[in-house]
Chains A and B, each alone.
Chain A
């Protein structure tokens, strides 16, 4: 077994389903989510990385999931403009029955443009501060705040009032931003 393979095996065995759930929030389809996670694993470990532990490896793979998701969205957008006959993927595929009770929030998330969805997942799922979201997505802080504001407004229209994030270093600042821009 090659060096690093053990980490990959542990990651899939112990965190594979969590990573799939994370990818599902972004892409809205469980099969696409598994494909996304596998591609992210290949991207992450396709070049040799020394000294990765399980937790740091998972962080790398999550980052790769996010990047691949946004890359594919950009590419699909570009090609769908040039080749309108190309098949567009369904926004939301039929989820397993076990997740039926979460359809509302996932379906609402699927109504958001991909960059707003990514910001929402990073903010409300990962509890990242706005500045870190901006770093991860290569966007300005102001842009991220605007995306979060638009996303929150849209989600509240679909789901009802959303509670403020309760943790994270700039939770209050973020909500104030959202409220100010409504």
Chain B
């Protein structure tokens, strides 16, 4: 007799859900509202942060008033269909940046594996951790963001939910290995099924978000790249 896995899984999910302690809407709504407020505040202070990087002795002010060291950070929001913003830091003085990326084969309708190093300078004593794996950003020849891995993870500002131990501490003066599988699909547009990017030449950036422990210091987005990315079809690899 064979097991009906569909039924077994639905039974397990239903029974477990029914027996779960449950949670109320109020705490969740509180977190949602705090996140929206942080997003709004962050978007309104992008220009001020860029100026602060210079006037504060190359330290960037976060939205919580703490400071981050000078870093290779985007000058604007990274969004699908929009021009990739310039990545700025005082030349030669950035102390946090993503470097030395290695790209795996980029096959049409697949994903590309990227490894890189996050070089961390002096964090000024601010305890920090990495948010989940870096976000890959794919840019076309016109400089437009056309693909990537969940771009909306950038600027989510979920530091109140991040367990510093779970995501690992970041120590000043170290180099951290980064690794990401970047899907070669067009940016996800709500309500549509992602489509594979066409074969051709693109640029790839990696963005890694660093968060202060328990929300202290807000977040710092560090961007590395561009690195050339060529998407090929399996047919072209065979020489068809």
Contact = CB atoms under 8 A, between A and B. Distances in A.
Interface of A: 2, 5, 8-9, 12-13, 16-22, 24-25, 30-31, 33-34, 37-39, 41-43, 45-49, 67, 71-72, 74-76, 78-79, 82-83, 86-87, 95-99, 101-102, 105-106, 109, 120-121, 124-125, 127, 132, 135, 138-141, 143, 155, 159-163, 165-166
27 contacts: A5-B29, A8-B28, A12-B23, A17-B17, A17-B20, A21-B14, A21-B18, A33-B16, A39-B158, A42-B32, A45-B32, A67-B150, A72-B166, A74-B132, A74-B179, A78-B179, A82-B176, A96-B20, A99-B15, A102-B11, A102-B12, A102-B15, A105-B8, A105-B9, A160-B3, A161-B1, A162-B5
A96 B12 contact: no
B48 to A, nearest CB: 22
Question: Which 4 pairs show the lowest CB-CB distances between chains A and B?
Answer: A21-B13, A21-B17, A138-B183, A17-B17
Given A102-B15, A105-B9, A138-B149, A17 B194 contact: no
Contacts of A132: 193
B25 A25 contact: no
A161 B2 contact: yes
Interface in B158-183: 158, 161, 165-168, 176-177, 179, 181, 183
A161 B5 contact: no
Given A42-B161, A96-B20, A166-B6, A9 B29 contact: yes
Contacts of B27: 38
Contact of B28 (A12, A124, A162): A12
Interface stretch (B33-41, B120-128, B210-218, B220-228): B33-41
B135 to A, nearest CB: 11
Contacts of A75: 130, 132-133, 166-168
Given A75-B133, A82-B177, A159-B3, A39 B161 contact: yes
Contacts of A98: 15-16, 18-19
B23 A138 contact: no
A143 B6 CA distance: 21
Contacts of B166: 72, 75-76, 79
A160 B8 CA distance: 13
Contacts of A106: 12, 16
Given A98-B18, A166-B6, A79 B168 contact: yes
A109 B11 CA distance: 14
Contact of B16 (A21, A39, A48, A140): A21
A30 B14 contact: no
Nearest to A45: B32
B9 A121 contact: yes
Contact of B8 (A8, A12, A102, A143): A102
B22 A17 contact: yes
A123 B176 CA distance: 36
